[in-house]
Structure 1
């Protein structure tokens, strides 16, 4: 008679699998993506490792540890020190490009963690895996020393990663505003969502780790929090896979021109401000959806810094706001006189999508294009009615 426990896929394991599978699929999609591959691959690896880190809960609820106790040290399940650094590398490759520099050292804790758990997993004894020596090592060294150190390092590394990404995104938004007419199209909104997700994840992770140091938490006690954390990671994965479909401008490739003050010692070339304004407005360059400050500088035979200063000092606008203001003026004229669709007017005004057009239009006019057109039509009808005998 065999008294060994059976492996059972209960409802908790099934729910975790249902949440983890989309996470793994998003990670695989990003790993294979050719557009922005250097940014997509670290994020794809992050999602896959995040899914694998839920392995102990999935197999634990199914009773796998009672059948194969040696899985306790499986290195595939202990990857939390990789997660924050992979996101930092992803954000760097997305927004800056160029060499990683000191950021590569952030991967060292993850490498050490994987090496440690691989060694503990293969610790020999009476048998290759399930041995008395392994559990003596666990009680004497792993639980009292490694687990607390690993928990504190994981919380600190994840928090540091959040700060780096937040600051990097702020600089990137400034760069887009100074150099890209289609800044809204390249705004990594989902990176903001990623920061929110990471903050939620860090809070959950820190809470569980602190509680686990004080009391022994059972799998059922941690299940709701881990299910929420996995769902958040899945949301991030879906959001990223949806939005990473075009190359992003890189700060290291085309560094943003700094804001200059009137007191700057280097004078602008004569009439440059008028030339910039005339070229963008009178020659209707603003209707080009992907117009950049480097395009303008190259066509005028000058450099980006001078063009940026001409806009900032003489015209009082960033490049993005100046171009989009011209686009909105053009769109307002179309809305007042035309009968076409909002989408066609958006495209005719230099925008790449209706969604971007709506956001920019509301930023400048405090109403949507539809509201603007309806209001003008109502005003025209009222004016005609008042003039009728």
Structure 2
């Protein structure tokens, strides 16, 4: 019987995700950095299978170097969803290219430190990734507003997956210390199947949040100001009067440019006055329009979804239930008799 390592199965699943992302790129605006991340996870899965499944000697030197590329690429990928002004420039950006260089030196000269270095690297970057999303979905101003919550969840899961990979690296280190590496192959395979696959999956989800060619709200500030009211009124007029909510590629960054108001001020005004994040606020408007279409027209649920600015059924159904506590079909069934009686 031909032996197929679990990591090869993970690699196949990641390749399928990558192909799906590439095919959908024209309509979803797949982010290139996230696509590279999925590809790197797939490649790393293959190398892990070659090392621990088929004991290919060369793979033991390549695997830690590839692994050291993952955390910086995770951080860079999610940073592309931040406001341009928040991105690092100059020397700090190039410092993130050092981990594979340092790891290559460790592999050549002090291989005993490989696992320790990987643990420190993965945990450190996991903290950095979580720090990016500390303000909730509104921090991801370059993400489509209907996907900002999903992208933020993907960010958190990616950080957890980095920590999980560090935990498994610790397990491999202890396996060599306690049992001379007898269990290392099993631990490494499981680490690959779980850690790399989850990183690749979250990269796939987050890539679809990028517009084609942002759970929790930011912490509220003490009290709304008159400026907050003016900003919210201006945003409300733009969204409703200009039907800007129908733009399925709308991001907080684009909304800020159209309104001529900094994204942080819009986010703060919505948080303080509406008690929710920008994504939820705009989705409330979209759901209100969808309800009108479902009540007053014979338009199908899918057509109402698209006409109100949603791109996927999963986002539409989730937001519809959040606002109305019902599915679109159930809401239409309950609202139409009432409308008929009013007439």
TM range (shorter): 0.7 to 0.9
Matches within 5 A, 1:263-282: 268=227, 273-282=232-241
User: Equivalent residue of 1:367, what SS?
Assistant: coil
Query: What is aligned with 1:226?
Result: 188
Name the CA distance, whole Å, in 2 between partners of 1:246 and 1:362: 21
Conserved? CA contact 2:106–2:114, under 8 Å: no
Say whether the 8 Å CA contact 2:34–2:77 is kept in structure 1.
yes
Q: Deviations over 1:286-333 (max 9, x none)?
A: 333334556555555665566556545555554333322222222222
Q: CA deviation at 1:20?
A: 5.7
**Farther off after superposition, 75-84 or 302-311:** 302-311
More relative contact order in 1 or in 2 (CA 8 Å, sep 6+)? 2
- 1:274 deviates by 4.2
Alignment correspondent of 2:101: 111
Alignment of 1:62-81 (within 5 A): 71=57, 75-79=61-65, 80-81=67-68
Q: Residues 162 and 195 of structure 1 are in contact (CA less than 8 Å); yes or no, is this contact kept in structure 2?
A: yes
Q: TM-score, normalised by structure 2?
A: 0.73
- Which blocks of at least 5 consecutive residues in structure 2 are unaligned? none
Describe the shift of the 1:261–1:282 C-alpha distance in structure 2 as closer, same or farther (beyond 3 A).
farther
The structure-2 alpha-carbon separation of the partners of 1:177 and 1:244, relative to structure 1 and needing over 3 Å to count, comes to closer
Inter-partner Cα distance in structure 2 for 1:295 and 1:372: 32
Tell me the distance in 2 between the aligned counterparts of 1:322 and 1:312: 9
* Deviations, residues 220-252 of structure 1 (Å, cap 9, x unaligned): x34433332232224543553466256359x9x
Q: Per-residue deviation at 1:346?
A: 1.0
1:195-274 alignment to 2 at 5 Å? 195-218=159-182, 221-232=183-194, 233-234=196-197, 236-237=199-200, 240-241=203-204, 244-245=207-208, 247=210, 261-262=222-223, 268=227, 273-274=232-233
Aligned length: 329
Q: Does 1:41 align with 2:4?
A: no
2:330 counterpart of 1:371: yes
Does the C-alpha gap of structure 1 residues 87 and 295 become closer, same or farther in structure 2, counting only changes over 3 Å?
closer
State the secondary structure of the residue aligned to 1:203: helix
3-state secondary structure, aligned to 1:351: coil
What is the match of residue 130 of structure 2? 166
Q: Normalising by structure 1, what TM-score? A: 0.66
Q: Following TM superposition, by how much is the alpha carbon of 1:171 offset from its aligned partner in structure 2, in angstroms?
A: 3.6
Distance (Å, rounded) in 2 between the aligned partners of 1:17 and 1:307? 45
Q: CA deviation at 1:190?
A: 3.4
Q: Is the 8 A contact 1:22 1:234 kept in 2?
A: no
Q: Cα distance 1:208–1:45, how it changes in 2: closer, same or farther (>3 A)?
A: same
> How much does 1:338 deviate?
3.0
Q: Classify 1:283/1:28 alpha carbon distance in 2 versus 1 (closer, same or farther; 3 Å).
A: closer
Bigger radius of gyration among the two: 1
